[in-house]
């Protein structure tokens, strides 16, 4: 089964392996595979699920809602997000204005078919809305019981500090940040993690397996496996391409003996690696089919010894991205149209 961790300084626990449905549900995989994978997650002890209004332009929330239909609400932790443009893409259908945040939560609750979400997250920082307006809107949504906790995604250390202070002033909890983090993408270690630790904010980390690359299934100079994300023309292939370089794929192959020595599969090693960081509350994994989750959940509770961690560092250090400045490039300077 899967272990639980507290989210930030709150009393709220999440399954340390959380299942997310970006680029898979209502896109790469059909609804029956999506629903079967959610049911497998539940069977394996994953109770925390992450989605966003923008995934498959709102359709991913509908699939997740259907898959969770009939489950006792109190036994689930459901997360969604707001920021990116959806729907009619009018001038107010984007960003973190009070208007878009309220439209966003109402749409998400309808599509997910729930009365509340456990965590409502700012999917990026909005440089066009005063942060006071954003935090006030989130606080009002919490007071209305439509969301229980507030989180953000890919905020910088300074933005986290400011958001956290405002949330505190408003009497609500900003408990989490959702950044990309894997043994290949370590940019949060420099400033985001130390700042978050000081504030009592957890990381819920996305793409812990670098979108499947750290499973070792993509071999340098070889055709990509049929049906994998790298073949998904709808959107997956475009997102994974940042890691599909021969030097990266060659370095990843060096993990094969390290995983074997640790008695783990490559996906388990990748997920266990992010969970060694105590500021990480959950590894937010994706899966295109149920069998992948059977493999991946075995990373829960694994302790990697110092020699294993050092061997991973040595294998990946020439290609791992560590520059904290990368976080500053993630939120768009102007809202996307
Ligand atoms: P991962 O790094 O876990 O990649 C998941 C993909 O890897 C799967 O869809 C599958 O792709 C492949 N895979 C999974 N398990 C295995 C296995 N055992 N063996 C071989 N291949 C495997 O995470 P994602 O990139 O999917 O991101 C996870 C979640 O993070 C998202 O669903 C979303 O909730 C969140 N996210 C948040 C973002 C943000 O801005 N806040 C941005 C992106 C993601 P396949 O079978 O197709 O090859």
Contact indicator for 87, 59 with CB cutoff of 8 Å: no
Q: What is the mean pLDDT of residues 60-72?
A: 98
**284 CA distance to ligand 1 middle (Å):** 8
* pLDDT of the residue at 337: 82
State the catalytic residue, choosing from 4, 19, 55, 149: 55
Candidate of 56, 82, 237, 287 to mutate for ligand 1, largest count of ligand atoms within 8 Å of Cβ: 287
User: How confident is the prediction for the chain on average, in pLDDT?
Assistant: 97
CATH number of 4-329: 3.20.20.100
Active site residue 181: no
Instruction: Please indicate whether residue 284, judged by its CB atom, sits closer than 6 Å to ligand 1.
Output: yes
Question: Rounded to whole angstroms, how far apart are CA atoms 258 and 245?
Answer: 21
Q: What is the pTM of this model?
A: 0.98
Verify whether ligand 1 is closer than 6 Å to residue 107 (CB atom). Answer: no
pLDDT attached to residue 193: 98
Looking at residues 145-159, what average pLDDT do you find? 98
How far does the centroid of ligand 1 lie from the alpha carbon of residue 288, in Å?
A: 8
Query: Cα of 238 to ligand 1 centre, how many Å?
Result: 14
User: Is the pLDDT score of 88 beyond 80?
Assistant: no
pLDDT of 223? 96
Confidence of residue 122 (pLDDT cuts 50, 70, 90): very high
Q: Is 218:249 a contact under the CB 8 Å cutoff?
A: yes
pLDDT digits (tens, 9 = 90+) for 192-226: 999 999 999 999 999 999 999 999 999 999 999 99
Has residue 9 got a pLDDT over 90? yes
* pLDDT tens digit sequence for 37-61: 999 999 999 999 999 999 999 999 9
């Amino acid at each position: 089964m899967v272990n639980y961790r507290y989210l930030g300084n709150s009393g709220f626990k999440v399954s340390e392996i959380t299942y997310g449905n970006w680029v898979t549900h209502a896109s790469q995989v059909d609804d029956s595979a999506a629903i079967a994978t959610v049911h497998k997650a539940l069977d394996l002890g994953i109770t925390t699920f992450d989605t966003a209004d923008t995934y498959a332009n709102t359709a991913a929330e509908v699939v997740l809602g259907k898959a969770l239909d009939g489950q006792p609400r109190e036994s689930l932790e459901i997360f969604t997000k707001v920021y990116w443009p959806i729907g009619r893409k009018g001038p107010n259908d984007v960003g973190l204005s009070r208007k878009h945040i309220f439209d966003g939560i109402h749409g998400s609750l309808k599509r997910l078919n729930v009365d509340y979400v456990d965590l409502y997250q700012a999917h990026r920082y909005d440089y066009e809305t005063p942060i006071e307006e954003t935090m006030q809107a989130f606080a009002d949504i919490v007071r209305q019981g439509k969301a229980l906790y507030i989180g953000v995604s890919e905020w910088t250390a300074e933005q986290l500090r400011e958001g956290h202070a405002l949330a505190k002033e408003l009497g609500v909890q900003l408990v989490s940040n959702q950044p990309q983090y894997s043994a290949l993408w370590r940019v949060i270690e420099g400033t985001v993690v130390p700042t978050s630790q000081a504030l009592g904010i957890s990381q819920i980390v996305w793409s812990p397996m670098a979108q499947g690359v750290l499973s070792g299934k993509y071999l340098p100079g070889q055709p990509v496996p049929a049906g994998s994300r790298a073949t998904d023309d709808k959107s997956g292939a475009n997102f994974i391409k940042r890691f599909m370089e021969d030097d990266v794929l060659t370095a990843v192959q060096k993990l094969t003996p390290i995983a074997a020595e640790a008695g783990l599969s490559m996906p388990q090693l990748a997920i266990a690696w992010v969970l060694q960081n105590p500021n990480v509350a959950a590894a937010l994994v994706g899966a295109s089919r149920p069998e992948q989750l059977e493999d991946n959940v075995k990373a829960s509770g694994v302790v990697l010894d110092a020699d294993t961690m050092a061997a991973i560092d040595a294998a990946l250090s020439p290609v791992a991205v560590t520059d904290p400045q990368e976080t500053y490039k993630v939120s768009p300077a102007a809202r996307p149209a």
